[in-house]
Structures are given as structure tokens and as C-alpha cells.
Structure 1
């Protein structure tokens, strides 16, 4: 059996294994380590969970998530109701500042406003994606830049890499330019890649992270 055939089988098994994903309407294909997901799912959260499941499989280099959200029965809702629920959920989450706003068009949510940290941006995205009736979320929230010291940012990220037991810090390099951090190197899994990117986002003053990492097995 070829590498790609094994990937298709293993990703399909992982989708079946994950109780958060209904794999019945998901088709999996692979080409040179890139896995493509096609078909339909019942929610945006399920679409994202399917991608996460595929990334967990050893040998997967990239995931092209082409799944479409198809709302069933009475789950289709008017935009005003969706926006009201999104704003309510954002307000109730203590991690999301009041500076975040949302608009909705044709079931697609656009998040706007400003935050101080990436985790606040991620939290707003996560909260919005869980609202019933949403087809997609576009995160346009901006991170305020407190003019960080370049050397301090690079040093703090490298130290975070070395502290993390799941990362091989020797294979990673960091550079920064006015709050934009670029992480380069090779990692052994998607989980390791995510750990490195999360660590880079945690440095004070970071407004963007460029992922130049390569996943190798």
C-alpha cells in the first residue's frame, strides 16, 4: 500500500473515532502527504474538529479542509438573531474584552475590534464558532501593538521553546520585526507545530506570527 493510501485509511479511522465528528458525509483523499476533506457537516464547529482530527494522524503534512457547512432543518436562522447570540456569548466570556464586535451576513460572522493578546482573539473566534446557525467566522480583530523591544521578544520566545517539553528548541529559529514574529525550522508533528506557534503568540507585543515551520516525520 502507498503512503497516501495509508493516510486516507488512517484519517478516515480517526474521523470515525472522534465522537465530535459525523464522518458519514466526509470524503478523504491524499496526495503526497496533503489530505483533502470534502463533503458536508452540520456545524462550523464540526468542520473545525474534522480538520483537527486529520492533523492528529501521523504522516499528514497539510490538511485542505473543503468541507461545507449544511444546516439541517430549523437550524437556519436570520442574521439579526445570530448576531444577538454572538454578542451575548462574547459579553458573557470574561476572556473577551468589550472592544470586540461582530456583524453577520448570510450566516457568516465577521469579528472586528481590538484586543491586547492573541488568546483573546482566539477566544472570541471559538465562542462565535459555537453559535448555532453560523456557516463561517472571519476573524478581523486587531492586536494593539505596545511597541515591543525586538531583542526582548526573540529572547522570551526562545526561552519559552526551551521550557516546553514537547518542543525540540534546537531546530527552531525566531525573528521579529515591529511585532511580527517569524518562526522557522522543522517539527515532528502538528501538535509540536501548534505548541511552537502558541508559544510565539504568548510573547508581549506580538501582533502577528508567520508560520514557516515544516512538519516532518
Structure 2
């Protein structure tokens, strides 16, 4: 697929996604890498625009350079915004009370510790949905016990084989002291995300080094 055709496909996908206002988004492509530029009205739209681009066949990487421009009527004081973020985190049963948030000019920084990566992801998702948030920086640490050993690598490989999205034979896993490293190639971003989720689900994992490449 040519760069022009790939950029057009991404533009079509952005237009097709009802959650994204694609009117002010410019798309360019360079050898499978998509660049998104322009403005959107919320951090959630910026996140959804990236996900839409990653769904397109032929995309190997997305540079999300979109700027969140909050309309005057939707702008919030940082103190009020922080209060809303903290309440939303507290009301989500997946997120432990060890997670904290600070806000500066609409930009949220999350901190604290959690036991699992899915809790860290959930905190980012919840904070990014709050009206007035312009960005989210996740500094939450996954506080596993660091007990990851060779057997866990085998367990992750078995999880790959159970998942219909993943070609387990194309991936390798190394694990030591809570750190997991994934190598190999995947056929789509959906497969990439599924592989990372499977690795993070292993007990004791504190870090996942993502060395996967998307190839077609």
C-alpha cells in the first residue's frame, strides 16, 4: 500500500469512528508510520484517534501529535479538576486507594502503586475521560513481588497459544526478577495489545519490555 493510500484509509477510519471529530485532524504516512496533527476537543478524543489509526491495516506505528484544545466554557480550575479525577478514581472498583493525582494546567499526573497493570491502565482511562483534562502522565508503579522466574515465561507462552488473536510461534518471552521481555513480530496492533495484556497478567510481573514489531 502506498503512503497516500494508507493515509486515506486512516482518514476514512477517523471519519467512520463516531467518537472522533476528524474535521481538524491532518493525517500523513511514511512507510507505515502515521502522523496525526491538528486539534481535538478532549484528551479522550486524542486517545480514540490513536486507537482508530492503529486499527487500519498497514499501520506499523502512530505518532499522535494532536493538541487538546479545551473550549472556554469547558475549562476548569486545576483544584476542581483534581477533585473530579480523584472522585472518579475512588468510584472505580478496579482502582485501589493508593493512587493519587495532581493537576497542572489541565494536565493530570497519576502516582502511587498498584498490584496489577490493568489497574494502572484503568486509572489512565478514567482520568482521561474527565471533562477539561488535556493530558495524562501515568507514573503509577506496578508493585509486584518480583518473583517472576523462567516458569512464568512458559505460562505467558501458553497464554499466547490460548488467545485466538496471537500467533504464539512468532513471539519469544524472557523473564527474570519481575521483568518480562517480549520479542518478535505481530500482524496488527490488536495482536500487539493482546500480547502485552497476556504478559502483564502473569503473577509477579512489574515491568514488560515491549520489543514487538508490527509487520504485514
Same fold (TM over 0.5): yes
| Per-residue CA distance 1:47-89 (angstroms, 9 max, x = gap) | 0000000000000111000000000131111100000000000
C-alpha separation between the residues in 1 aligned to 2:109 and 2:213? 30
Equivalent residues in 2 for 1:198-209, closer than 5 Å = 198-209=197-208
Query: Which residue does the alignment assign to 1:39?
Result: 38
C-alpha separation between the residues in 2 aligned to 1:147 and 1:67? 37
Q: CA deviation at 1:149?
A: 3.6
Q: CA deviation at 1:208?
A: 1.2
Equivalent residues in 2 for 1:38-57, closer than 5 Å = 38-57=37-56
Runs ≥4 in structure 1, deviation > 6 angstroms? none
Query: Which residue does the alignment assign to 2:135?
Result: 136
C-alpha separation between the residues in 2 aligned to 1:146 and 1:177? 12
Equivalent residues in 2 for 1:108-123, closer than 5 Å = 108-123=107-122
C-alpha separation between the residues in 1 aligned to 2:135 and 2:115? 24
Q: CA deviation at 1:164?
A: 0.6
What SS does the aligned partner of 2:87 have? helix
Indicate how the Cα distance of structure 1 residues 149 and 206 shifts in structure 2: closer, same or farther if over 3 A, else same. closer
Q: TM-score, normalised by structure 1?
A: 0.97
Unmatched segments (≥5 aa) in structure 2: none
Query: Which residue does the alignment assign to 2:173?
Result: 174
Query: Which residue does the alignment assign to 1:159?
Result: 158
Tell me whether 1:12 sits opposite 2:18 in the alignment.
Answer: no
Query: Which residue does the alignment assign to 1:60?
Result: 59
Q: CA deviation at 1:214?
A: 1.2
Aligned length: 216
Query: Which residue does the alignment assign to 2:124?
Result: 125
C-alpha separation between the residues in 1 aligned to 2:148 and 2:174? 12
Q: TM-score, normalised by structure 2?
A: 0.98
